[in-house]
Each structure stands twice: as C-alpha cells, then as structure tokens.
Amino acid sequence: MRILTKSLLAASVPALALAAPVQAQVGGGQMNGQVQPVCQVNDLFAAISFDSMTSGASISDNVNLQCNDADGANITLISSEGGLESDDNEDLEIEYEAVLSSSAIDGGSVTLDLPLNTQGDNDAAATGTASGSTSLASGVSGTLDVTLKETAVWAGGYSDTITVQLTAR
C-alpha cells in the first residue's frame, strides 16, 4: 500500500502542475498621429479696380481665413505702398482705409475688425489676433473693405498691393 500511495502522489504532482492557472500576458503598442498645420488666406482679390477715384469710393472682397493652431493666429494687413500710388508720380499716394472683418461663433469665437489707415508710408501695416477655435480651424468668412480717403486729381493709373498675413501663434 505504501508503494501505491507513493505512486499516486508522484502521479498527482504533474497533474496539479497542469491544472494550475496560467498567468495572463499583457502587451501593448504606442499609437500616434499627425495633423498638418494650416494657416492660410484664400480668395483675396487679385485685381479689382475702383469705378471712381473720388473720396468715399469703395470696393469689397470676400476672403476665407483658416488656421488650425489651438492658440489662434496673428493677422497682419499690409499696404506695400502706403496708399494707391500714382504710376506717373511715385511721391503721390491716394490714402485709403482698408478694414478686414470677420466673425464666427461656435464654442470659440473669432471676432476681427482690423483697420488699416494708409498715410503714404511704405509697408503700412495693422495687426490683430484671432483666438483658436473650431471655426477658425475649419475656415471663417471675412470681408476686406477698402474706402478712398482722398480724390485723385491727376490722370493715370494708381496701384497698391494689400497683403493679408495669417501666422499661427
């Protein structure tokens, strides 16, 4: 009987080892992604002429502003000539006021009223900011309105370049 008990005991040890629960194994991997930065102005007029070069004459154009930086954007409105410069006399500029405006609301807010008053100085600029919002990240509509503050007396062409610069903060 003693031999039989030892044999049963010896046989039961491997059976217990097989019946013991197996420890669970844990594994994992890192996931990541990237959203490309976008900060752009679309649909700024390429070339629009005033019908009249008299004080108070105005033109408008629709623009779209988009910046997907969570901190928002710095916005700069720049006149390269500081006014509508005469083609015949580079020292003669017709002053104007340009106003870039936009507003949109959705969880965040983009409100912009950015006036640029030219004084005949080259590279005249006005700056403003827009807070980060889902509206700005998707793109908001804006309007650029330009109104002459003087009347052009002399015949000939007058021109200036307006730049809207949008830079992530």
Residue 10 has pLDDT above 80, yes or no: no
Residues 118/85, Cβ–Cβ less than 8 Å: no
Looking at 4-13, 28-37, 95-104, which range is the least confident one?
4-13
Q: Six-digit token pair at 110? A: 């983009």
Residue 2 has pLDDT above 60, yes or no: no
Within-domain flag for 97? yes
Within-domain flag for 25? no
Residue 11 has pLDDT above 60, yes or no: no
Distances (CA, A) of 145 to 5, 26, 45, 166: 102, 62, 11, 18
Q: Which domain holds residue 66?
A: 39-168
CATH code, 53: 2.60.120
Query: What's residue 107's pLDDT?
Result: 42
- For residue 128, the SS3 value is strand
Residues 43/61, Cβ–Cβ less than 8 Å: yes
49 phi and psi, to 5 degrees?
A: -105, 145
Number of domains, the chain: 1
Q: Which residues contact 100 (CB under 8 A, 6 or more apart)?
A: 63, 75, 77, 112, 113, 114, 116, 128, 142, 143, 144, 164
Residue 18 has pLDDT above 60, yes or no: no
87 phi and psi, to 5 degrees?
A: -70, -30
Query: What's residue 45's pLDDT?
Result: 66
Within-domain flag for 20? no
Portion of the chain with pLDDT greater than 90, in percent:
31
Within-domain flag for 63? yes
Question: What is the pLDDT confidence band of residue 157, given thresholds at 50, 70 and 90?
Answer: very high
Q: Which residues contact 127 (CB under 8 A, 6 or more apart)?
A: 74, 75, 76, 77, 114
Query: What's residue 111's pLDDT?
Result: 59
Q: How many C-beta atoms lie closer than 10 Å to residue 75's C-beta? A: 22
Within-domain flag for 117? yes
Q: Which residue, among 6, 1, 75, 66, has the nearest Cα to 38 in the 3D structure?
A: 66
Within-domain flag for 106? yes
Within-domain flag for 13? no
On average, the pLDDT of the chain sits at: 81
* Dist. CA 69–CA 75, nearest whole Å: 13
Residue 67 has pLDDT above 60, yes or no: yes
Q: How many residues does the chain have?
A: 169
Within-domain flag for 152? yes
Query: What's residue 106's pLDDT?
Result: 45
Residue 38 has pLDDT above 90, yes or no: yes
Question: What is the pLDDT confidence band of residue 26, given thresholds at 50, 70 and 90?
Answer: confident
Query: What's residue 118's pLDDT?
Result: 83
